Amino acid sequence: MTSLVRGRPATVKDVARHAGVSASTVSNVLHGRSSVADEIRARVEAAITEVGYVPSAAGRLLRSGTSEVIQLALPDIRSPYYSALAHTVIQRARELGMTVVIEETDGAVEQEQRVASSHPHRGVGGTLICPMSLTSDDLAELRPELPTVLLGEHTRGDAFDQVFIDSRAAARDVATHLVATGRRRFAFVGTEHGKGTGPGALRLEGVRDVLRAEGLDLPDSAVLGTPDFGRETGVAVGERLPAGESGYDAVVCATDELAVGVLHALAGRGVEVPREIAVTGWDDAPESRFVTPSLTTVAHDLDDLAAAALGFVTARRADPARRPGRHVSPHRLVVRDSTQTG
Q: Binding residues for a copy of itself, per CB under 8 A?
A: 1-2, 9, 54-59, 61-62, 67, 69, 76-78, 80, 83-84, 86-87, 90-91, 99-104, 117, 119-123, 141-143, 145, 231, 234-235, 260-261, 263-264, 267-268, 286-287, 289-292, 294
C-alpha to C-alpha distance for 93 and 69, rounded to whole angstroms: 9
CB of 270 to a copy of itself, least distance (A): 11
Q: Which does 289 bind (CB under 5 to 8 A by kind): DNA, a copy of itself, none?
A: a copy of itself
CB of 122 to a copy of itself, least distance (A): 6
Identify which of residues 40 and 334 has a Cβ nearer to a copy of itself in the complex.
Answer: 334
Which residues of this chain interact with DNA, rule CB under 7 A? Answer: 8-9, 11-13, 20-28, 30-31, 33-37, 39-40, 53, 55-56, 58-60, 62-64, 121
Identify which of residues 16 and 139 has a Cβ nearer to DNA in the complex.
Answer: 16
Per-residue HEC secondary structure of the chain comes to CCCCECCECCCHHHHHHHHCCCHHHHHHHHCCCCCCCHHHHHHHHHHHHHHCCCCCHHHHHHHHCCCCEEEEEECCCCCHHHHHHHHHHHHHHHHCCCEEEEEECCCCHHHHHHHHCCCHHHCCCEEEECCCCCCHHHHHCCCCCCCEEEEECCCCCCCCEEEEECHHHHHHHHHHHHHHCCCCCEEEEEECCCCCCCCHHHHHHHHHHHHHHHCCCCCHHHEEECCCCCHHHHHHHHHHCCECCCCECEEEECCHHHHHHHHHHHHHHCCCCCCCCEEECCCCCHHHHCCCCCCEEEEECHHHHHHHHHHHHHHHHHCCCCCCCEEEECEEEECCHHHCCC
Identify which of residues 8 and 240 has a Cβ nearer to DNA in the complex.
Answer: 8
CB of 285 to a copy of itself, least distance (A): 8
Identify which of residues 48 and 151 has a Cβ nearer to DNA in the complex.
Answer: 48
Identify which of residues 24 and 341 has a Cβ nearer to DNA in the complex.
Answer: 24
Q: Cβ–Cβ contacts within 10 Å for residue 64, how many?
A: 9
CB of 167 to a copy of itself, least distance (A): 22
- For residue 293, say if its preceding peptide bond is cis, omega within 30 degrees of 0: yes
CB of 97 to a copy of itself, least distance (A): 11
Which residues have a Cβ under 8 Å from the Cβ of 194 and sit 6 or more positions away? Answer: none
Identify which of residues 40 and 84 has a Cβ nearer to DNA in the complex.
Answer: 40
CB of 337 to a copy of itself, least distance (A): 10
Identify which of residues 116 and 163 has a Cβ nearer to a copy of itself in the complex.
Answer: 116
CB of 35 to a copy of itself, least distance (A): 28
Q: Which does 22 bind (CB under 5 to 8 A by kind): DNA, a copy of itself, none?
A: DNA
Identify which of residues 20 and 244 has a Cβ nearer to DNA in the complex.
Answer: 20
CB of 39 to a copy of itself, least distance (A): 28
Q: Which does 302 bind (CB under 5 to 8 A by kind): DNA, a copy of itself, none?
A: none
Q: Which does 23 bind (CB under 5 to 8 A by kind): DNA, a copy of itself, none?
A: DNA
C-alpha to C-alpha distance for 51 and 281, rounded to whole angstroms: 54
